[in-house]
A = this chain, B = another copy of it.
Amino acid sequence: MTERICYACGERAAAPATRCDCGEPLWLDTDPHDFDWNAVADDPGMWRYAELLPFDSPGGVADAAGGTPLLRLSRLDEFAGVRLHLKDEGSNPTGSFKDRGSALGVAAALESGVNIVGTVSHGNMAMSTAANAASAGLDCVVLVPDDIPESRIDLISQYGPRLLRVSGDYAALYDRSLELGVELEIPFYNSDVPLRVEGQKTTALEICEAFAPGVPDAIVLPVSSGGHASGVWKALRELKTAGTIDQLPRLYFAQAAACAPIAEAFDAGDDAVSPVEGGETIAYSIANRDPPSGTRALTAARETDGGVVAVDDDEIRAARGAIAESGGLSVESASATSLAAIRRLAVDGELGEEDDVVAVATGRGVSESPPSSERATVDRVDIDELGERLGSR
Residues of A within 8 A of B (CB): 44-45, 59-61, 63-64, 67, 69, 71-75, 88, 90-95, 116, 118, 131-137, 139, 141, 143-144, 146, 150, 153-155, 157-160, 162-170, 172-173, 176-177, 180, 183-184, 186, 321, 324-330, 364, 366, 369-372, 375-376, 378-384, 386-387, 389-391, 393
A144 to B381, CA, bound (A): 10
Q: Is the CB of A328 within 8 A of B132?
A: yes
A326 to B131, CA, bound (A): 9
Q: Is the CB of B88 within 8 A of A60?
A: no
A384 to B173, CA, bound (A): 10
Q: Is the CB of B379 within 8 A of A159?
A: no
A154 touching B44 in the complex, CB below 8 Å, given contacts A60-B75, A135-B75: no
Contacts of A158 in B (CB 8 A): 321, 324-325, 330, 370-372
Contacts of A69 in B (CB 8 A): 44-45, 63-64, 67, 93
Q: Is the CB of A73 within 8 A of B135?
A: yes
A45 to B376, CA, bound (A): 32
Q: Is the CB of B326 within 8 A of A135?
A: yes
A157 touching B378 in the complex, CB below 8 Å, given contacts A75-B60, A135-B328: yes
Q: Is the CB of B386 within 8 A of A166?
A: yes
Q: Is the CB of A327 within 8 A of B164?
A: no
Contacts of A139 in B (CB 8 A): 393
A380 to B147, CA, bound (A): 11
Q: Which of B95, B366, B378, B383 contacts A168 (CB 8 A)?
A: B383
- 10 nearest A-B residue pairs (beta carbon): A135-B328, A168-B383, A61-B328, A157-B376, A64-B69, A131-B328, A158-B370, A160-B325, A154-B370, A163-B378
A131 to B154, CA, bound (A): 28
Q: Is the CB of B45 within 8 A of A372?
A: no
Contacts of A165 in B (CB 8 A): 378-381
A134 to B76, CA, bound (A): 11
Expressed in whole angstroms, the minimum distance between the Cβ of A157 and any Cβ of chain B is: 4
Expressed in whole angstroms, the minimum distance between the Cβ of A334 and any Cβ of chain B is: 16
Q: Is the CB of B390 within 8 A of A325?
A: no
- Among residues of B, the one whose C-beta sits closest to the C-beta of A134 is B328
Expressed in whole angstroms, the minimum distance between the Cβ of A174 and any Cβ of chain B is: 11
Contacts of A63 in B (CB 8 A): 69, 71-72
Q: Is the CB of A325 within 8 A of B159?
A: yes
A153 to B386, CA, bound (A): 19
A160 to B321, CA, bound (A): 9
Contacts of A329 in B (CB 8 A): 61, 93, 131, 135
Q: Which of B71, B72, B164, B381 contacts A166 (CB 8 A)?
A: B381
Q: Is the CB of A370 within 8 A of B157?
A: yes
20 A-B contacts (beta carbon < 8 Å):
A44-B69, A61-B327, A75-B135, A132-B328, A134-B325, A135-B328, A143-B386, A146-B380, A153-B375, A158-B321, A158-B324, A164-B379, A167-B381, A168-B384, A170-B383, A173-B383, A173-B386, A183-B391, A184-B390, A364-B366
